[in-house]
Amino acid sequence: MAAWTLQEADQEFIAREVEPFLPDRIFDAHVHLFCQSHYAPAVPPAYLHGNPERIGLEAYRHYIDWIHPGGRTVGALCFGLTFTGDRDGNNTFVAAEVAAAPRPEMVALGQLVIPPEQDPEQIREMVRRDGYVGLKCYHTMAKIEGPTWNAPIEDYLPEEHVRIAHEEGLSITLHMVRDRALADPVNQATIRRYCERYPNMRLILAHAARGFNPWHTIEGIASLSGLNNVWFDTSAVTEAGAFEAIVETFGHERLLYGTDFPISHMRGRCVAIGDSFHWFYAEDMNLDEKHIALRPVLIGLESLRSIRLAARRLKLSDQQVEDIFYNNAARLFSLNGSR
């Protein structure tokens, strides 16, 4: 895949679909910061070739301004990306980048990437020492036989880690897996149990509860209703249905805007196909196949348009849209001294 670029199609899309909708202040609740060398001994994935070696806060702010023009990104929840590479190096990098953020112009918060076998007391120590506000788990770190895509949540987010989050008042960003995501009763039961037993832990279900196929979130969302400590981020979701289901069930206050940077800067789109979903990337498309040339745009822009569609269909007010893009996160992380 090619290096990130901002093309004419993106700029036209921004002028037409994004600028008229985008609030002035943005908190991005899903940002990956890392250096390409953190992948060692493995090599960085192809989608990073030709991009900077060091993707810290400064690079993030530069590139995110492509999709949120005008310096309106004023906050970010950041975590590493090299889950199976030099994870410790990546965590340390995130902590340093976040600590050096130019406040008050930019407020950055960090989450600690933790493998399931990490000693819980060590997590507590690291969080206190390096100032992380939360934790980030990921299924590829699960120590199980067979594909981790089928792992139950406990295999990559053990209860002891949730207890630490509860005791320390931490957020946890969870990208759940298993084919049907939130429509899967095994996932539903664990989320409900963790949230009820550990009310001071704040759970952020990434990718609209991994609603890449919106029907999974639509079907499963009611199973979580009544929980007071669950949020959802919008990151890398390019269809509107899951956002609508979340807002209808939980209110717009639980939806947090996020980009999944650098995924936001790949070109393509994710769509529901049958009971599954598929990522289409510009590199794999025949752009001149039909009577009209395809002009794919950045995933981050597709996602913004999907949020816009949901907001329109739900008749959200400007204030409610501003909440999704900033105030909900500010409240969750007490950015204005309130919670």
Three-state SS sequence of 294-314: CCCCEHHHHHHHHHHHHHHHC
The CB-of-32 to Zn ion minimum distance in angstroms stands at 6
Residue 19 near residue 304 (C-beta atoms within 8 A): no
* Smaller CB separation from Zn ion, 137 or 316: 137
The CB-of-81 to Zn ion minimum distance in angstroms stands at 7
* Smaller CB separation from Zn ion, 148 or 223: 148
Q: Which of residues 58-87 bind Zn ion (CB under 5 A)?
A: none
**DSSP for residue 15:** I
10 near Zn ion (CB under 5 A): no
Q: Which of residues 203-262 bind Zn ion (CB under 5 A)?
A: 260
Strands 171-174, 202-205: pairing is parallel
Which residue is listed with tokens 């209808």?
248
Q: Which of residues 257-286 bind Zn ion (CB under 5 A)?
A: 260
* Smaller CB separation from Zn ion, 7 or 51: 51
* Smaller CB separation from Zn ion, 32 or 202: 32
* Smaller CB separation from Zn ion, 33 or 230: 33
> What is the amino acid identity at position 31?
V
* Smaller CB separation from Zn ion, 60 or 320: 60
Q: Which of 30, 202, 176, 206 is nearest to 110 (CA)?
A: 30
**Does residue 70 come out as left (phi exceeding 0), alpha (psi in the -120 to 50 range) or beta?**
left
The CB-of-218 to Zn ion minimum distance in angstroms stands at 22
3-state class percentages of the chain: helix first, strand second, coil last, to nearest 5: 45, 15, 40
The CB-of-136 to Zn ion minimum distance in angstroms stands at 9
The CB-of-147 to Zn ion minimum distance in angstroms stands at 19
Number of shown-chain residues binding Zn ion (CB under 5 A): 1
The CB-of-303 to Zn ion minimum distance in angstroms stands at 12
- Closest chain position to Zn ion (CB): 260
The two tokens of residue 86 are 């030099």
Give the other-Cβ count within 10 Å of 86's Cβ: 19
- Cβ neighbourhood burial of 223 (10 Å; 0-12, 13-18, 19+): middle
Residues in contact with Zn ion by CB under 5 A are 260
